[in-house]
Structure 1
Amino acid sequence: MITSGAATDISLREHAPARSVPLDAAAGRALAASGVLESVMPDPYQDGHWLLRAGSLVGAVRVPVPGAVPGTGRALTVRVAPKTPVRRLFFLLGFSLDPAKAWRHGRDGTIDAGAYEDVLPALAHAVERQIDAALRQGVLQGYRRTEESALVVRGRIREAEQIRRHFGRTPPVEIAYDAYTADIPENRILRAAAETLLRLPGVPGPVRRRLAHQRVRLVDAEPLVRGRALPAWTPSRLNARYQPALRLAEALLAGSTPEHRPGELRLDGFLFDMNALFEDFVTGALREAVREHGHSARLQDRHHLDTARLVRLRPDLVAYAPDGRTPVAVVDAKYKTEKSGRHPNEDLYQMLAYCTALGLDEGHLVYAAGRTADRAHEVRGTPGPTGRGITLHQHALELDADPTELLASLRTLAARIAGADGHPGA
């Protein structure tokens, strides 16, 4: 039973202070078990209320609340808005989906979110527009391997299955053939994305109607089975027009992964991790930027701190000289805000370990926000390869800034890494 005044539609903001929301015990426990929020606990000062605090996951989900009697459950709708403008969220998302294209096109490489200021309507609009563009030349078809029992022979007889199932009698015949059909992984993924959004309240009426139309166009594609991995597809010349829509649809469906966790609550909706989006943006943009100077970069490059190779290190990005073997810089992206004008010391300790293991004079920490200018810390007692000691740099990117300013900041950092700014960074 829902208590009087209990909330069924909850709106929160990323990393905002905890908010007291009227919820009954069953709803509070379901929300805590879902893993959607960073913190869920009973409000010690107000009966019938729970303190809810969102972390770095943003998006919209429906959380099922089991009832005391089977079949009497209900659902909570939870929306978490990013602290940055929605258009900036989609700028970061565009980079994470296709860094090379987004780097080339800059502002024009962002995802079209329309005029919507909330995450759910904006994403629904973007997905529908991408699907429409993919299907503009018609629904893609391809060959799919089919095995079945039939009354006539088509393709190849599966002899082993024929003997095992129908020894001594025909028909039916066990056959295998390649069918030319619209039921291919690409169409299944696009249909699943449309259906995921159609299950959520809060999608604007015009967008909902267009999504329903796209679902009809994809009706020949079989729906995906909940709990199974997304079908694999291979980029090719034939599906080039589908690729932008597929990348966005996969990002949406990957953000729905809580529903695929065995033994846990099934959630309808999507959640984007701002930590991952920021890291993907910084590393993807820097990788493209250093290439302009003849350098290369590897993401999540594996190294070890000790000679026994027991302590693993995986910095977000390691830049290499044109020879492809000599490291020239290490970068770690941190989606954090500083506290009292200072960033956590453990970030500096981590970067010092990276520089020590890689034999570098400089390391760079890139933060998502900051109220102070960039800083440089000269570490005592650490003579680097050139004998001038190790310097740890802290940079702050203001995500509210124009995309061209964000990219210009990363271009400047890439030039420093490559030594193209007159600084002997390499």
Structure 2
Amino acid sequence: MISMHGEYRRHVRSGIRVPVTLKYASHTVETNTLDVSASGLRLKRPKRVYIRPGEVIDVEFPDKSGMNVAATVAYTGKSHIGLQLNLRRFSDTELSELYDIAPPWQRLIATGKRTLWRNSRRSAVFLANTWLRAPLHALARPHFVFAVYGNRQQAESYFTPWMAQRMPSNMVLGFIRNEGMRGLLVASQFMEEELEEDSNKVRFYLDQLQRDYPEVERIALVGRLPNFAMKAGIGMNEPLVEGSLGTRYMIWDVARQMHERPRYSQQNSIVVLGGAGRIGNAVCQDLTSLYDKVIGFDSRYEEDREIATDRGTVLQTSSPDHLRDEKLYIGLTTHGDAVLEFQQYIAPGALIADDTHPCVSLTARERLLERQITVEKVVLSHEEFLMWPRMPAWNNRDIPGCLVEALVLLRQPAVGQGDFSAFCQEAGFLGFTGRLISPLDE
């Protein structure tokens, strides 16, 4: 349940069919939607109409006077066309208006599908953690566990208070496979704010995990959980894995790719938002192998301090004035939307690689996009990785960086001794690759 905002990717207005008019290449074509979401449309493909992916077209809604959008063709199929909106999103008001245009029977079906999906997932979680829990454990025989958490809004998508009272405190939410290694995604019923405020609950969560899974080789801790554990006086001893090496490798690999983009190839500096944190401080040092100057920006710094390394310079600062001319950013703040506090200092055309938990919200991304600031999500991938069902807001083949360290250590335990270069070499050799992707809609 690592910041399970991805639950809202299935937008409540999905499945609505309303008439639209397409205008492109001096042609006007009428068709109707098959699906509507905040960021795009799926349309019925008219006969004898061929529109290639990448084409930009205008979409008008005849039944909603004045509503029109520009969109890029993301894909085409035999019977449908997928469109991605350009430089905007449908607001909640606009989606409600489109929803109201649809016939009552369509609205009823859309609501029914949403209810069925929510109840089916809740039922599956309940069964997996009551009558089927023991058989699932016996069948999975996990080598590792990925320990995660969520907030109250996210938890409501997975279970009701009635269900919570009848399930174990640590709940199985998914199965993970990486080559020959098997694992389970396990979430605590304690919410993120509870774990942050009460160290006793952190100790109970992790102690119970080790009692539930005494045979696993590694327990990977998500997001801020290592910080909560250290605050609670829990040492990062086996099988616990705090995940920083995996996260650092992911960010390093992504930062390397950012520099390789033609638009940013001349940039010799990068900003780490949240540079004073446990991960952020190490990341700043890591990135000096790629950039001449790394700016560690964090409100916790009381004064500017410049640190020279063998490869480059790290500037530790809390002054947003140092951001004005920068174009590349790594987001490591305690929550993604913290970037809005200093957005006015970020130059148009900047790119933020987001590895925050919870990550930059759709609303915040829209506000940043108005200033021509792009946000992309940081993930790691491996061709032999699979998570089922997928973790919300993630592709089922994309991996959180905090899990990767455990996956590497399962194969090469010796690389977990703090040698970052050795870990990077081993992770790359094993096929783990950092990527930047468009954030999934909420």
Report the TM-score when normalising by structure 2: 0.24
Q: Which has the higher contact order (CA 8 A, sep 6+)?
A: 2
Higher Rg of the two aligned structures: 1
Report the TM-score when normalising by structure 1: 0.24
